Amino acid sequence: MKLKTIEVNGSTYAEVQDGKPVYVHDDGNVSPFDAPHAVAAIKARNAEAKTHREAKEALEAKIKAFEGLDPEAARKALETVGNLDAKKLIDAGEVEKIRNEAKAGYDRKLEELYNPVVKELADLKATLHQERLSAAFAKSKYVAERLAIPADMAQAAFGSRFTPEGNGKFAATGLDGNPLYSRSKPSEAPDFDEALELLVESYPYRDQILKGSGASGGGANGSRTGAGGKRQVSRAQFDAMSPAERVKAAAEAEIVD
């Protein structure tokens, strides 16, 4: 990215916005760069990396004391000694067999009780995610002011790129599968509207879903032409389309029942 400059009385100065220098990105977008915030973020990442390294070294030092030991043989030896200490009147191998059978029965019972609960929680979590995502699209200022398609169409096209996080926030990935980062705060994730804007900018049909893009649609099989020259698509045809095709049709055509 390049520093944006302005000419004043024949002299060239860096453009500043809210006390931050303004840069022009490779894709032509312009945004201020918060240098103190970026430096602080880098320091924080370095400190975090040091903590991880020290923890790794401490763990390696503890593991070194057990070099050359066979973990499985050591476990069996400890179990045998435990059985002998308990002064059982049957051999250690029989004790282990009884324990394994009891454990297997307990595990089966636990699985019977646990699996339905896990599935129900997963279903509830998925439903909650969809409701939160629908609410985010419905309340989005970017959708209302910049897009020529309704919120549910925007969600159909871009909703799969958002993953729920804590505190009602979402993590977003680009169309290439990589995490998205804020333009003004490069070390942080963007908020919902900025993430959606980044996704739309990289969307191949963005000119057809943005307001004021001047997009015009062509004909399609089984479609009619309505008022204003727009082609008409039946509700059945629209429901049979893929999410991407729905977004395109919503921008180009009139949906009729």
Say whether both 149 and 249 belong to one domain. no
CB atoms within 10 A of CB 107: 11
Tell me, yes or no, whether 221 lies in a domain.
yes
Secondary structure of 110-149 as H, E, C letters: HHHHHHHHHHHHHHHHHHHHHHHHHHHHHCCHHHHHHECC
The reported pLDDT for the residue numbered 88 is 58
Q: Count Cβ atoms within 10 A of the Cβ of residue 249 and give its class: 0-12 exposed, 13-18 middle, 19 or more buried.
A: buried
Task: Give every CB contact of residue 136 below 8 A, 6+ residues apart in sequence.
Answer: 162, 170, 192
Q: Which residues pair with 163 in a beta bridge?
A: 171
Domain residues for the domain of 18 are 2-33
Are residues 224 and 138 part of one domain?
Answer: no
Which conformational region is residue 171 in: left (phi greater than 0), alpha (psi within -120 to 50 degrees), or beta?
A: beta
Residue pair 231/217 in contact by the 8 Å Cβ criterion: yes
Residue 60 lies in a domain: no
DSSP H or E segment with residue 12: strand 11-14
Evaluate whether residue 68 is within a structural domain. no
Residues 196, 236, single domain; the answer is no
Asked if residue 43 belongs to a domain, the reply is no
Residue 19 is assigned to a structural domain of this protein:
yes
Asked if residue 136 belongs to a domain, the reply is yes
Q: What's the full length of the chain, in residues?
A: 257
What is the structure's pLDDT at 179? 93
Would residue 50 count as lying in a domain? no
Q: Give dist(CA 244, CA 157) in Å, integer.
A: 6
Q: Based on the domain organization, do 192 and 229 belong to the same domain?
A: no
Q: Are residues 86 and 210 in the same domain?
A: yes
Quote the pLDDT of residue 157. Answer: 92
Same domain, 223 and 193: no
Q: Is residue 117 part of a domain?
A: yes
210 and 86 belong to one structural domain: yes
**Is the Cβ–Cβ distance between 29 and 183 less than 8 Å?**
yes
21 shares a domain with 116: no
pTM for the model stands at 0.44
Residue 177 and residue 104 in one domain:
yes
Domain match, 118 and 206 both: yes
Dihedral of the CA atoms 172, 177, 179, 180 (nearest 10)?
-70
State the 10-residue block means of pLDDT for the chain, 257 residues long: 82 84 82 83 85 85 75 77 61 73 79 76 84 94 93 93 85 91 87 93 89 49 47 74 77 72
- 94 lies in the same domain as 146: yes
Residues 121 and 189 in one domain: yes
The count of structural domains within the chain is 3
